[in-house]
Structure 1
Amino acid sequence: MRLFANRDYRHLFGAQVIALFGTGLTTVALGLLAYDLAGARAGMVLGTALTIKMVMYVVIAPLAAAYVDRLPRRTLLVALDVVRGAVVLALPLVSEVWHIYVLIGLLQAASAAFTPTFQAVIPDIVTDESDYTRALSASQVASTMESLLSPVLAAVALTFMSFNWLFLGTSAGFLVSALLVLWTRIPNARPTAHTKAWDKATSGIRTFLRTPRLRGVMALNLVVAAAGSIVVVSTVNYVRDELGGSQSDVAWMLAASGAGTLLAALALPRVLDRVAARTVMTTGAGVLVAGTTAAVTLIATGLATWTGTAIIWTVIGIGMALVITPTGKVLRGSVGRDEIPGAFAAQFSLSHLAWLITYPVAGWLGTEAGFVVTWSVLAVLAGVGAVSALLLWPRHDGGGAVTTLPTSPVAQAPRTDRSTLSKAA
């Protein structure tokens, strides 16, 4: 493949994959650490930790995207990997819940700065248009693969060792990622049209707000976050307390959701060649609403079983893939090439803003009110997001042509050209 013949991209992609798997293993281990420290209140601890993560992503990612062209990017990426490795290495040493919150704040602040910097580097080392599109797709596939394989690897590892060793492996992974970045030739950033940091930080968000299809994507982010929070936050307490499972069982149940995501993601490229992105994504929203409703029914009727839960978790994984996988294509078809990093940075922040709403619901309300009430609230939020997406994203705009509110002719032209290219592809 020509893309991976590019030495610099190959190293950078390898660094991303290793860091992704490290983050995935940390998520599994963090849930088990929370259960070890807080027992039945682990959901609240994990929900709080993940809320801190989302705050860091929503606040820091746009600022990092704004200032990234003013900093030596390779040095910054290496430093962020080293910081993440050091923080993860310290997690097994915590003895109080508040220690988790402090370390997670530091870890996710570094991760929030890493992602927009990584995205900004790609167009500078992958200059061919078609290769650039493949690079964005490869990055998305890597994220999808991580959602499946990280829990599986964690489940296998937990049969031989304590979850604390997962933190050690994650820390080593971040250091390997830093070495790969060091071996990558990353050119200096090109100056952007936005001279003010605030203008640059908010340019992508303004694009979302004036583009109907992207407003629909924002609503779909809420659907994904509502359903995903049931899986990410509730699984550890649900499996350990409701089903009486082990640490390894927690990881395998998370892997069931990842398996659904992977299966759908592998089938989607051919589907998207024939079916509009809007149709695929709104169908995914419907699947997620059905999945959350089924989860509520399962727990409310007292019929919680391993098989039933695994099926519902898999369905939720499928729905998440149906929404998330086409998002990159929609973003690329909605803006000009120079605006792509800003659009992806905006989606990064806005999608995590949705999780910032749902994580506290899953963690805090779940601990105080139980699974039935909490999952019912999340199912309602998923339904609201799905209906909003249908209303905000015009039916005639299937994902090929760009529909924006009136702007200046100069600003409108690049989007029209980009749309034409996307439609032709």
Structure 2
Amino acid sequence: MPVLAGLLANAGWRRLFAAQVAALVGTGLTTVALALLAYDLAGGDAGRVLGIALALKMVAYVGIAPIAGAYAARLPRKPFLVALDLARAGAVFCLPLVTEVWQIYLLILWLNACSAGFTPTFQATIPEIVPDPAQYSRALSASRLAYDLENLLSPALAAGALMLLSYDALFVANGVGFLASAALILGVGLPGARAGAAGGAWRRTGDGLRAYLAVPELRAVWLLYFAVAAAGALVIVDTVLYVREWLGRGEVAVALAFAASGAGSMLAALALPRWLDRAHERRPMLVGGLLLAVGVAAVAAWQPGFAGLLALWFALGVGLSLVQTPVGRLLTRHSTEADRPALFAAQFALSHACWLAGYPLAGVLASAAGLATAMWVLAAMAAAAAFASWRVWPRADAGG
């Protein structure tokens, strides 16, 4: 695979990538299982339950990620990541025991508080393991592919598993994935604690956010993430309602719809390295934002059958990957090794603040005002975000 060319010779990167795949495939299984659990507990009100649960996920991300990024420079990277993997495994092992909606909310908050510390620290580690710029671009695409396995391979595995097992088994598989991730990270040589970081952790938390917002192209990226959140929330929250309630199809069809979005995202991630070899990140990311705005509007206007839904979910997956895959290159360009964890954490928190807007619109608004209304509001959000990002992003950064 061209994306992996040269990277496989790097033993540290191989283990990190395998750890990411193990954790994310399991997380994708939980995404499907959580939607089905919400439907079992709340029926037609599942969108509200799922929307609130995922909004709590974003609260954890927005509130904890910048603080975790500030502390990450002072903590030994390996035990920090392993401990968070073990805590995440504990959370998902508890999900099969859930009998009340409030228990979903509590466990989702626990799980994602741990992820808020893990993910930006993990992302900031990759450029230290893969310092060559060309190889790092490919490492980012490979990392994006791993995230896409959550949307493609996991739903496909879930569809097969649901033919034989209950969805509770998917939660258990996710727990095993986190344990495998922890074991793999134990075998990687990672940076230790840095004693010389200037200022306290709370000061560095603010410094990371201020440094991010001081860069015009990163401000444009943040705006673009509102389009990502609108389209992503539509897919993640409303797929189960659209497929089960509007189309009257079963659990396997829900998993296939998630897989269609993942397939589009994976295809875009495979194609991006060659595009980025010739162009600045501005062009593919703005094209992705436009595709998200058009795609969400098309869903709202057309309200397609199952085949049309699969096609539009595929297109939204392409747009999601075009926006999200190149972000690491921009963050690395505007950071040093010392402040990189804080800048990645700022990106993580600010981008997920956008999701904090998207999830309630897709879930709570759909429950209160109807799915059609929610889709049109999400379409307006995506369009406004794509246009604002295009206006804010300086053309000079794109090489003219």
TM normalised by structure 1 equals 0.88
Superimposed CA distance per residue, residues 364-397 of structure 1 (whole angstroms, 9 cap, x where no aligned partner) = 0011111111111111111110111011112232
Q: Distance in 2 between matches of 1:254 and 1:137?
A: 20
Q: Distance in 2 between matches of 1:254 and 1:2?
A: 31
> 2:231·2:382 contact (CA, 8 Å) conserved in 1?
yes
1:9 aligns with 2:13: yes
What residue in structure 2 maps to residue 287 of structure 1?
Answer: 291
User: How is 1:148-159 mapped onto 2 (pairs within 5 angstroms)?
Assistant: 148-159=152-163
Amino acid at match of 1:13: F
Amino acid at match of 2:22: I
What residue in structure 1 maps to residue 362 of structure 2?
Answer: 362
Indicate which of 215, 218, 232 corresponds to 2:219.
Answer: 215
Q: Name structure 1 gaps, 5 residues minimum.
A: 402-425
The alpha-carbon deviation at position 143 of structure 1 amounts to 1.6
Percent identity of equivalent pairs: 51
Look up the SS of the partner of 2:389 in the other structure.
helix
Q: Distance in 2 between matches of 1:67 and 1:335?
A: 17
1:341 aligns with 2:345: no
The alpha-carbon deviation at position 114 of structure 1 amounts to 1.1
1:309 aligns with 2:309: yes
Look up the SS of the partner of 1:70 in the other structure.
coil
TM normalised by structure 2 equals 0.93
What residue in structure 2 maps to residue 55 of structure 1?
Answer: 59
The alpha-carbon deviation at position 126 of structure 1 amounts to 4.5
Q: Distance in 1 between matches of 2:247 and 2:311?
A: 15
Q: Distance in 2 between matches of 1:160 and 1:39?
A: 23
Q: Distance in 2 between matches of 1:336 and 1:90?
A: 40
Compared with structure 1, are the counterparts of its residues 275 and 69 closer, same or farther at alpha carbon in structure 2 (3 Å cutoff)? closer
The alpha-carbon deviation at position 130 of structure 1 amounts to 5.2
Higher relative contact order (CA closer than 8 Å, sequence separation 6+): 2
Superimposed CA distance per residue, residues 132-168 of structure 1 (whole angstroms, 9 cap, x where no aligned partner) = 5544443233223332211121112212211111011
What residue in structure 1 maps to residue 198 of structure 2?
Answer: 194
Compared with structure 1, are the counterparts of its residues 85 and 323 closer, same or farther at alpha carbon in structure 2 (3 Å cutoff)? same
What residue in structure 2 maps to residue 36 of structure 1?
Answer: 40
Q: Distance in 1 between matches of 2:133 and 2:387?
A: 35
The alpha-carbon deviation at position 232 of structure 1 amounts to 0.6
> 2:269·2:322 contact (CA, 8 Å) conserved in 1?
yes
The alpha-carbon deviation at position 69 of structure 1 amounts to 3.0
Q: Distance in 1 between matches of 2:230 and 2:97?
A: 32
The alpha-carbon deviation at position 204 of structure 1 amounts to 2.8
Indicate which of 117, 120, 123 corresponds to 1:119.
Answer: 123
Look up the SS of the partner of 1:397 in the other structure.
helix
Compared with structure 1, are the counterparts of its residues 186 and 328 closer, same or farther at alpha carbon in structure 2 (3 Å cutoff)? closer
What residue in structure 1 maps to residue 374 of structure 2?
Answer: 374
Amino acid at match of 1:320: L
Q: Distance in 1 between matches of 2:142 and 2:291?
A: 25
Q: Distance in 2 between matches of 1:290 and 1:272?
A: 23
What residue in structure 2 maps to residue 385 of structure 1?
Answer: 385
Q: Distance in 2 between matches of 1:54 and 1:20?
A: 17
> 2:28·2:149 contact (CA, 8 Å) conserved in 1?
no
1:273 aligns with 2:277: yes
Indicate which of 97, 103, 119 corresponds to 2:107.
Answer: 103
Q: Distance in 1 between matches of 2:185 and 2:279?
A: 38
1:172 aligns with 2:172: no
Compared with structure 1, are the counterparts of its residues 185 and 272 closer, same or farther at alpha carbon in structure 2 (3 Å cutoff)? closer
1:324 aligns with 2:329: no
Q: Distance in 2 between matches of 1:136 and 1:307?
A: 31
> 2:230·2:358 contact (CA, 8 Å) conserved in 1?
yes
Superimposed CA distance per residue, residues 77-119 of structure 1 (whole angstroms, 9 cap, x where no aligned partner) = 2221111111111101111000100111111111111113323
Compared with structure 1, are the counterparts of its residues 184 and 268 closer, same or farther at alpha carbon in structure 2 (3 Å cutoff)? closer
Q: How many residues are paired up? A: 396
Q: Distance in 2 between matches of 1:329 and 1:115?
A: 16
The alpha-carbon deviation at position 75 of structure 1 amounts to 2.2
User: How is 1:219-238 mapped onto 2 (pairs within 5 angstroms)?
Assistant: 219-238=223-242
Bigger CA drift: 256-265 or 66-75?
66-75
Bigger CA drift: 271-280 or 82-91?
271-280
Amino acid at match of 2:51: G
Q: Distance in 2 between matches of 1:320 and 1:123?
A: 22
Compared with structure 1, are the counterparts of its residues 122 and 268 closer, same or farther at alpha carbon in structure 2 (3 Å cutoff)? closer
Q: Distance in 2 between matches of 1:240 and 1:265?
A: 30
The alpha-carbon deviation at position 123 of structure 1 amounts to 4.7
> 1:137·1:328 contact (CA, 8 Å) conserved in 2?
no
Q: Distance in 2 between matches of 1:5 and 1:273?
A: 21
Q: Distance in 1 between matches of 2:64 and 2:310?
A: 35
Bigger CA drift: 90-99 or 198-207?
198-207
Q: Distance in 1 between matches of 2:211 and 2:251?
A: 44
Q: Distance in 1 between matches of 2:126 and 2:61?
A: 20
Amino acid at match of 1:345: A
Q: Distance in 2 between matches of 1:148 and 1:259?
A: 6
